[in-house]
Amino acid sequence: MDYHIYHMFPKLLNLYGDHGNIITLEYYASQLGLNPILHEIDDVNNIDWDNVDFMLIGGGSDREQALVTEQLGLIKDKIKEEMEKGLPILAVCGGYQFLGNYYQATNGEKLAGLGILDFYTVGQTQKRMIGNALVQTQDFGELIGFVNHAGETFHDLSPLGEATSGYGNNLTSSIEGIYYKNMIGTYLHGPLLPKNPQLTLFFIKTFMKRKGLPYDDSLIDLSFENKAREMMKQRILDNSVNKDDFY
Amino acid sequence: MGIILGKLAIAFSRFSGRKGTNIGGKIALKFNKHILRKLTANIDEIILVSGTNGKSTTTNIIAQTLSNSKASIVSNIDGANMYTGIVSTLIDNYKLGKNNHYQYGVFEVDEGSIPLVLNDLDKCSLVITNFFRDQLDRYAEIDIIIDKINNAVALKGDDIKLYLNVDDPFCYRLRDYNFIGYGLDKKIDIFKEGTISDSRYCAICGRALQYSKIFYGQLGHYTCECGFNRPNPKYLLSNVSNEALKINNTIFHHHIMGSYNIYNILAAISVLKEMAIKDEIIEKTLVNFKTIDGRMQLLHLNNHQIYLNLVKNHAGMNLTLQEISYLKVNHVCFLLNDYTADGKDISWIWDADFEYLLNMDIKKFFISGTRCYDMALRLKNMGIDEHKIIVNPLFETIIDLVISDNAFIIASYTALWKAKKLLEAKEH
């Protein structure tokens, strides 16, 4: 069974190793007997909407992000429609901010977002939110990642989880991300999927369910993943990753 | 007062087994916020080298050549390149009661420290090697760091002379100032292009840059409809053969390993030629160049060749992986830490083209460091057989296993010093 992975604007929205999410998704999909096919989209006319099985929208620098807004704007209705129908989408950092109504730059100017979901982000210069983060979620257990953003996001939608260590959506609340239908919007880089296999499997499981295929992940070996999680979690809890260290 | 206490702090730090590369500067700064101005007052000419990759090697070629030209120089060749590190170097070399005059000061400068350092100097030259994504946990975005450097350079006016790698559109954004360009001829064909580039989009108008040649990353011959075109550099590297390169009309022989070092040699030669240093002295230095520890360092242990190389970001990793493909090694080892000096965000390992390894005949991969399992996942998820990947957070254990065959060890910054110590202890 072919599994069509869409990576939106990988040349522009490619900060902080987000491509690692694709490498990881492809690997697991192969392990589960699927035939992953990667579509790297830099022109929205090249999307075959009947065969989109997963979509990644990553983050770019402010300059690069502005370049993409126009293109993504052309397909915002289609993205929304597919999202409502249950398309698995992962939107990270700038990609997450895009989904909202607007991004207010530090000079007060409001840059229009895609308006796919009702929320907004405000840029600020007081403090950039940088560092490792642990996010406790109801549906996916604990997520481990790294955040690096200056925009503060505000919404009343259903969150992905709560940051128990590190930053969440903004400087005043520990709420992190959005989880709506099968769309996950989050500030978590890392990249996110390699160290959070439960999310990778969720995206693939959702695809298989939508296609009416049987799903069984009991043979997937997660020993490296589990050790990576254990080691990183311990470092975050000891706070040893956030200190300056002698060596 | 600050200088004396700084000297004491360095001595004490060394006595307690540390490198002591920053502590002296930190203490001296408490007494005088602009102590760099005082420490450099009697240096005739100052050359700074910055950029993401190649700073240390470029600094060392310039410093060693100037030394060989019988000039008196001071340089932070130990690589302590933050503002405090440079201050520490100068304090360490400071002779109390003397005038501390040098003809040249050659300093490697961390990109983030440029504004502070420039602020304390009257006149200087600044070499920029390249800009790649590196330690974004400290610098946020390349655009932000370039803007800061741009502002700092603007304040210097005619008191600064830049040396820019014109093949890098990021470097060339500093074109509005007094600069000397250096770059490669279109026919140079020694790099693998790689898949991920930081940005091949025009910083002025946002359009995709048109490339007639790409060397690696975003480095190449580019033009843009808006007129942001790579200029012809004053120093053009037009030919490379094994251990020789041709710059403008002169051939220079050298014994510096690593094809990516041609940019560093070119940058250094551009500076040295502008300073009217004789070609013979430059070439003599290049042929006898003493490699910096951990930069393509070759050790011989039990009849095995062990290479050790520092890698800090995806661009350096891609070039290093390319070097590995030219060598006969059965073991490849990754030592990945995430301390402050390494960068706490190690996501760049997913931007590097480890996929090159799939076409090499590597028997085993060994991994250690605080982020060893992240690295293991990088290899596993791209399709390397898990059984070929040996992971252990203990350096000692991994190093012992690695050196049982010809090996290439890639280390992040803090891991490098530890690995070097362990390996050199075994060498004797």
Q: Which among B373, B389, B414 is the nearest to A231, CB-wise?
A: B373
For B218, name the nearest residue in chain A, comparing CA atoms only.
A11
Residues B307 and B282 both lie in one domain: no
pLDDT for B412 equals: 95
- What is the identity of the amino acid at B171? C
Residues B340 and B259 both lie in one domain: no
pLDDT for A239 equals: 73
Structure tokens at B327: 């060598």
Determine phi and psi for A52, rounding to 5 degrees: -105, 120
Residues B356 and B282 both lie in one domain: no
d(CA B264, CA B64): 14
pLDDT for A65 equals: 76
pLDDT for B296 equals: 85
Kindly report the average pLDDT of chain B as a whole number. Answer: 90
d(CA A95, CA B144): 20
Q: Is residue A151 part of a domain?
A: yes
The whole-number average pLDDT for the span A11-23 is 88
Residue A245 has pLDDT above 50, yes or no: no
Q: Is residue B301 part of a domain?
A: yes
Q: Is residue B207 part of a domain?
A: no
Q: Which among A23, A63, A150 is the nearest to B350, CB-wise?
A: A23
Q: DSSP character for B253?
A: E
CA-based nearest residue to A146, from A138, A154, A134: A134
- Chain B (298-357) residues lying within 8 Å, Cβ to Cβ, of chain A: 337-341, 344-345, 347-351
Residues B268 and B317 both lie in one domain: no
Residues B267 and B400 both lie in one domain: no
Residues B281 and B406 both lie in one domain: no
B190 band by pLDDT with thresholds 50, 70 and 90: confident
Q: Report yes or no: A131 at the B interface, CB cutoff 8 Å.
A: yes
CB atoms A64 and B350 under 8 Å: no
B209-218, pLDDT tens digit by residue?
Answer: 999 999 988 8
- Chain B (379-408) residues lying within 8 Å, Cβ to Cβ, of chain A: 380-383, 386, 389, 391, 393
DSSP-derived secondary structure for A116-135: SSS-EEEE-SS--EEEEEEE
Q: Is residue B215 part of a domain?
A: no
pTM above the 0.90 mark? Answer: no
A163-221, pLDDT tens digit by residue?
Answer: 999 999 999 999 999 999 999 999 999 999 999 999 999 999 999 999 999 999 998 99
d(CA B230, CA B150): 18
Q: Is the peptide bond before A191 cis (omega within 30 degrees of 0)?
A: yes
Domain count, chain B: 2
CB atoms B347 and A191 under 8 Å: yes
Per the annotation, the verdict on B345 as an active-site residue is: yes
- Chain B (179-218) residues lying within 8 Å, Cβ to Cβ, of chain A: 196-197, 199-201, 203, 206
Residues B274 and B302 both lie in one domain: no
Domain holding B33, by residue range, is: 2-181+253-287
pLDDT for B96 equals: 85
Residue A113 CA, chain-centre distance (Å), reads 17
CB A21 within 8 A of CB A192: yes
Q: Report yes or no: B422 at the A interface, CB cutoff 8 Å.
A: no
Q: Is residue A247 part of a domain?
A: no
Domain of B379, CATH number, reads 3.90.190.20
Domain of B129, CATH number, reads 3.40.1190.10
Q: Give the gap in angstroms from C-alpha A188 to the nearest C-alpha of chain B.
A: 11
Residues B283 and B332 both lie in one domain: no
pLDDT for B312 equals: 87
Indicate the SS3 state at residue A50: helix
pLDDT for B26 equals: 77
Q: Report yes or no: B147 at the A interface, CB cutoff 8 Å.
A: no
CA distances from B16 to A246, B21, B26, B88, B424 (A): 12, 13, 17, 17, 20
The whole-number average pLDDT for the span B350-368 is 95
Residue B138 has pLDDT above 80, yes or no: no
Residue B198 has pLDDT above 90, yes or no: no
Domain count, chain A: 1
Comparing A175 with B199, the larger pLDDT belongs to A175
Indicate the SS3 state at residue B113: helix
Domain of A10, CATH number, reads 3.40.50.880
Q: Is residue A51 part of a domain?
A: yes
pLDDT for B361 equals: 94
Per mean pLDDT, which range of A35-49, A75-89, B59-73, B206-220 is the poorest?
A: B206-220
Residues B322 and B269 both lie in one domain: no
Comparing A17 with A118, the larger pLDDT belongs to A118
Q: Which among B18, B137, B376 is the nearest to A246, CB-wise?
A: B18
Residues B156 and B177 both lie in one domain: yes
Q: Is residue B246 part of a domain?
A: no
- Chain A (68-107) residues lying within 8 Å, Cβ to Cβ, of chain B: none
Instruction: For an interface test with B, give the residue of A224, A227, A234 to mutate (most B CBs within 10 A).
Output: A224
pLDDT for B137 equals: 53
B78-126, pLDDT tens digit by residue?
Answer: 778 889 889 989 998 888 888 889 999 999 999 989 999 999 999 999 9
B21 band by pLDDT with thresholds 50, 70 and 90: low
Q: Is residue B243 part of a domain?
A: no
Which chain B residues have a beta carbon less than 8 Å from that of A27? 380-383
The ipTM, to two decimals, is 0.95
d(CA B71, CA B272): 13
CB A233 within 8 A of CB A144: yes
Domain holding A193, by residue range, is: 2-237
For A221, name the nearest residue in chain B, comparing CA atoms only.
B386
Q: Is residue A242 part of a domain?
A: no
Residues B143 and B264 both lie in one domain: yes
pLDDT for B31 equals: 76
Residue A244 has pLDDT above 50, yes or no: no
B9 band by pLDDT with thresholds 50, 70 and 90: confident
Q: Give the gap in angstroms from C-alpha B100 to the nearest C-alpha of chain A.
A: 31
Per the annotation, the verdict on A155 as an active-site residue is: no
Q: Is residue B214 part of a domain?
A: no
d(CA B53, CA B55): 6
d(CA B89, CA B13): 14
Q: Is residue A246 part of a domain?
A: no
Comparing B147 with B143, the larger pLDDT belongs to B147
The whole-number average pLDDT for the span A6-34 is 92
- What is the identity of the amino acid at B115? P
Residues B357 and B418 both lie in one domain: yes
A247 band by pLDDT with thresholds 50, 70 and 90: very low
CB atoms B143 and A24 under 8 Å: no
B140 band by pLDDT with thresholds 50, 70 and 90: low
